A and B are shown apart, each in its own frame.
Chain A
Amino acid sequence: MESQSGAAAARTDSGLDLATRIHAGDRTAEEEFANTYRRGVMVIATVRTRDREAARDLTQEILIAVLKALREGQLRESAKLAAFVQGTARNLINNYIRSRSRRPECDLDSVVEPTADPVEKLESADRHRLVRRELESFGPTDQQILLLSLVDGHSLVEVAQRLELSHDAVRARRSRMIRKITKKFASMSHK
């Protein structure tokens, strides 16, 4: 954990450095910036929109918007690059969600399916397969705890009431499962 905090501090320093270099017109710094923040922005966009395809497009949009701002020197406190990226992401995603709610529905046939990289699709399918296998190794009640809390958004108290279990038991079981899964699969995430 300490090393992670250290890494975060180092990242902040590099964020400051990156913002300065991008403002100075360094193209390699822009590439470095995109490589550093692409995954994080993608995660944020996916969680907020619950739509991977939209999140992919939004990620590009967000990175371009931040880069433009950095080129123009709009970031006053360079040390807060991550906060600047997050703020931009939040605003653009909120705009997207608002516009999506206003957008009329259309027939599915008329929508062209985006062509994702097949190898990426394969890796993703493999990850899903392994995660499913792991989830299936949990008991039905454990899977229900995860479903009710992660998908339905119920609090642990509500989950405990529904499953007629104690709050502590639900909390312990959910923590144990999440810890087990993240420990096992976090290393499989995209590098």
Chain B
Amino acid sequence: MVCREVEKNDLVAKYVSGQLDPAAQDDFEIHILDCESCRASVEILQVVREDLIARAHEIRAYSPKPRGGLRWRWVTVSALCVLALAVGLRQLGNFRSHSKAAQVQLPPTSKQGPVVTVEETNNATASSRVSPSDHQVDNVPVNRRDYLNFNLRTDSHVPRDKGHTGASDGNKHQVEKPAPNNDFAEQVVELTNQQEDIPAILDKLTLPRSLAQDKNFLAELASLKAPRLSTNDEQQRIADEALDHLASVQAPPYAFSGVAGTKHSSATANSVVTGGNTGADLPAMAQTIFHEAMLAYAEKRYGDTETLLQSAIQSAPGSIDINYYLGICRLLGDRANEAIEPLQLVLTKEKSPYSQSAHFYLGKAYLQMRDITHAQSELELAAAVPGRLTAEATSTLARLRAVLVFESEKKEETIQGPHKKN
């Protein structure tokens, strides 16, 4: 079997959907074991299939034969269009009748009923202002989306002019110039990005009473918000989980020879030496305490280890061994901020045997503190040094970059708004 045959006969799609007969399936499977490009196609179609399953209900709702739900949807949309046109024309008429005035009031006089804001329904007040220069015939709303744009306002760009009072019924009306190329859905998403809940979003939209109370419309608004928030939350949770995973720390082994894993791998009490300088510089007291601390460390009693190391460091504040393991213990105790100082001190010594490890665990400490910039630079330094942790540092760095790319794309998408459906 060759790839041309696979493409010609749509074998990838047939295979993923289970439409191949057993013999053809066997042949195709043998082929994908050897052909990377066909295998990648199968993998991606599997993802497509899973997504289709997840949205099957939604996709099936688009039936070519009109069903009840869809018919009502069209009825609602058509009614809204008519309503929007009527309200827009009425507002235009009002505008023309008051064209000489610099600012006008718009009394609701038409038979379609008053245009009210949600705030009005809640007995709240809002100011209104119409600038004649803002309203041209081109701005007359002709469908629901334009209508909503026409009336959309947010606190950030609506002037609150309390000097202009409402119309004959005492209500105040607000008419805002529609933003050019501004999509209703995008504006709602902009509001949802501000963590507004549905009532808060409704407060910021000036709607006809019928629309404000229209269950279909409210459901549509909720559906615009709900999936987006849940997706964002889910993505954020996954990203946080990934960062937590990258920041997690395994206690490095302690080798009693001083440099981890280089000399004697088995611990013997009498062979305790410290750091790369064999501990000769350590005072006897500090050396004894350090030895005890390391015995506790081997038994994973990190709290005891830290206490002993803190005691030992009084006699030898510059010891790289003591500082290194002190930093590690604090990191294991979820006190990354306190781990940084002793680990940095280890790096001040020239030719420190802990150089790579210190950079690596500093990277972890910064990751726990979500200081990504410093974490990256420390991990880069650890990855650049050949040693026990080179591969792990490189891998952690690559994964961290993947998480960052994911997060930046997510932010970008949040700013740009959701992808519109056709």
Contact partner of A140 among B37, B62, B399, CB < 8 A?
B62
The number of chain B residues with a CB under 8 A from chain A is 60
A47 contacts the other chain (Cβ, under 8 Å)?
yes
- Residues in A whose Cβ lies below 8 Å from that of B39: 39-40, 43, 189
Question: Is A147 in contact with B245, judged by CB distance below 8 angstroms?
Answer: no
Contact partner of B26 among A90, A150, A178, CB < 8 A?
A90
Most chain A beta-carbon neighbours within 10 Å: one of B26, B42, B49, B51: B51
CB neighbors of B among A78-108 (8 A): 82-83, 85-87, 89-90
Interface of B is mostly: helix
Question: Is B46 in contact with A86, judged by CB distance below 8 angstroms?
Answer: no
CB neighbors of A among B233-260 (8 A): 234-235, 238-239, 241-242, 244-246
Over the window 115-134 of chain A, the binary record of Cβ atoms lying under 8 Å from chain B Cβ atoms (1 yes, 0 no) is 00111011101111101110
B170 contacts the other chain (Cβ, under 8 Å)?
no
B307 contacts the other chain (Cβ, under 8 Å)?
no
Q: Given A41-B33, A186-B37, A47–B46 Cβ distance below 8 Å?
A: yes
Residue of B nearest to A164 (CB): B64
Residue of B nearest to A139 (CB): B422
Bound Cα distance from A145 to B242, whole angstroms: 36
Q: Given A153-B19, A174-B13, A178-B13, A138–B245 Cβ distance below 8 Å?
A: no
Interface of A is mostly: helix
Bound Cα distance from A131 to B44, whole angstroms: 8
The number of chain A residues with a CB under 8 A from chain B is 67
B4 contacts the other chain (Cβ, under 8 Å)?
yes
A1 contacts the other chain (Cβ, under 8 Å)?
yes
Tell me how far the C-beta of A12 lies from the nearest C-beta in chain B, rounded to whole angstroms: 7
Q: Given A140-B62, A150-B13, A128–B51 Cβ distance below 8 Å?
A: yes
Over the window 393-422 of chain B, the binary record of Cβ atoms lying under 8 Å from chain A Cβ atoms (1 yes, 0 no) is 000000100110010010000000001011
- Given A151-B52, A178-B45, 4 extra CB contacts under 8 A: A90-B29, A119-B245, A139-B422, A186-B41
